[in-house]
């Protein structure tokens, strides 16, 4: 039986989720999504609800972006210092709504 790496589990989780709001406030939003087999980054104006930047991300770029996002969330909300992909994956599983 092969065991998936934590990086693979993070990517599988994101593909199943389909979309993650990285930032959303009264001024701007940042959203990453998986659609049509592509990873899409969207940055836009919240007031007009219009994208000002849309780009396709490569899988490795998205993986690093996701890990950095959750490292920061763990630091801010839980005072944790995540250092490995295994720790990031555990954090995602334990905090699915952060």
Handedness of CA 7, 13, 18, 20 (dihedral sign): negative
- Residue 1: predicted pLDDT: 38
Does a structural domain hold residue 22?
yes
Tens place of pLDDT for every residue, the chain, 98 residues? 347 899 999 999 999 999 999 999 999 999 999 999 999 999 999 999 999 999 999 999 999 999 999 999 999 999 999 999 999 999 999 998 87
Domain of residue 44, residue span: 6-94
CA–CA separation, 5 and 88 (whole Å)? 12
- Inter-CA distances, 13 with 1, 7, 44, 76, Å: 20, 10, 25, 22
Predicted TM-score (pTM) above 0.75: yes
How many domains does the chain divide into?
1
Does a structural domain hold residue 1?
no
- Residue 97: predicted pLDDT: 84
């Amino acid at each position: 039986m092969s065991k998936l790496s934590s990086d693979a589990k993070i990517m599988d989780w994101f593909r199943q989720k389909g979309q993650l709001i990285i930032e959303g406030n009264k001024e701007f939003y940042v959203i990453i999504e998986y659609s049509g087999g592509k990873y899409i980054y969207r940055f836009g104006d919240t007031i007009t609800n219009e994208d000002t930047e849309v780009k396709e991300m490569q899988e490795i770029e998205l993986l690093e972006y996701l890990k950095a996002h959750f490292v920061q969330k763990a630091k801010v909300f839980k005072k944790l210092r995540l250092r490995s992909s295994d720790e990031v994956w555990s954090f995602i599983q334990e905090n699915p709504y952060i």
